[in-house]
Amino acid sequence: MEEETEAAVPLALPDRAIRNDLAAELSRRQLLRGAGGLGLIAVVAGALPALERLAEPAPAFGAQPLNGTLEAFFDTILPGRVVARTELGNPISAGAILGVDPEPGAVEADAMLLADDSRIGFNLLAPAFAAELEARAVAEGGPMITLDYEARQAACIGGLSFSNPTRLLWEAAAAVPFTAFCAAANVENATAADSVGFEVMGHPGTAPAGYRDASYRRRLARGRTRHGYLP
């Protein structure tokens, strides 16, 4: 059994981005060392050797619609409100979002669009990952998209366990919704107005002209600087 060696140092993520114990555990493992696309690419590349450890899945496990399986997984990692379309207007598989959180989640932040992006490389891992996910979901009661949240979470906890030899594949999959939500990876020059992840986290996003209330000339504590602002 593989020993956990990572230092238990939490990432500096907004509290509101951590929706459940599963997401908190993934953050503790520092999946978001590089929250942007390059960081995700590195995580995905590191998971490629895990494909060799996968047993040949039963055909029934690979027969479920890929998008529905993955969206149900993404909603387990960062759950959100029930919506029919993503922030960019893409359709969402019926039943993928359970609505266990009233705010937008990873599926609404277009995690599936990021998963399909060939530049990331996760599309190469997705079929094998989905087949293993469905195998674990069936052990919890049925196809992933049909399970309640507790059963979905149980399937994911098993896959992400350090005793699972394909754990790196699961961590790569979990990095996708984190990156779509926390880094607004699908939205160019994202702001809180067009990125649901930034909106939830209270992150203002890009500002080509800067923020008028965040100037270096803004007065701070007179007791610590000569004129009340940074020199």
Q: How far apart are CA 17 and CA 162, in angstroms?
A: 24
pLDDT average, residue stretch 4-31: 49
Q: What is the pLDDT of residue 121?
A: 86
Give CA separation, 144 vs 134, 148, 199, in Å. 6, 9, 28
Q: What is the pLDDT of residue 4?
A: 42
More confident call, 229 vs 66: 66
Least confident window among 42-46, 52-56, 191-195: 52-56
Please state the pTM of the whole predicted model.
0.73
What dihedral do alpha carbons 85, 158, 164, 160 form, nearest 10°? 50
